[in-house]
Amino acid sequence: MSSWGTDVLIEIGVLAAGLPDMAMSALVKEQIEGITPTAISMIPPEKLAVAFHQRQISMFSYEQAVAVTQQQLSALSDVQRTALDMVLTPWEDRPVDFRGRSLGLVLSRSPLCLILGLLTVLFCPGT
């Protein structure tokens, strides 16, 4: 399994949900990318919580993260939920120390704020 690429996991589809816990916990980013959202949703909640470390969960695509069911979510630890939240809200740049301590929010201007500011300066020069 260590030599399986994204294409193999895409090919086996939902059968990936039946991989042994140890095999699942050893998956790397390229392999995780091949797990379909449907397969993610079919992994038993306890198995998802045991097999996927928070770093692996943070490698999920948005579509994979959305596929996590409410039962699976309730089985995850707080740190695993934080990793999942980071995937679901990519617009919020929150560095997290996976030992459980947040390093806080990183403040930055969004492109929309920059555009609105520019438009205000161009069209309302007296403000």
Per-residue pLDDT of the chain (127 residues; tens, 9 = 90+): 555 555 555 555 556 666 777 878 888 888 888 888 988 998 899 999 998 999 999 999 999 999 999 999 999 999 999 999 999 986 655 555 555 554 555 455 567 766 777 777 777 766 5
- DSSP letters for 22-44: HHHHT--HHHHTTS-HHHHHHS-
Q: What is the pLDDT of residue 115?
A: 77
Q: What is the pLDDT of residue 127?
A: 57
Q: What is the pLDDT of residue 16?
A: 64
Distance of CA 108 to the CA centre of its chain: 21
Answer whether 72's CB lies under 8 Å from 46's CB: no
DSSP 86: H
Global confidence as pTM: 0.62
Q: What is the pLDDT of residue 11?
A: 57
Q: What is the pLDDT of residue 7?
A: 58
Residue type, 3: S
Q: What is the pLDDT of residues 46-75, one digit of tens each?
A: 999 998 999 999 999 999 999 999 999 999
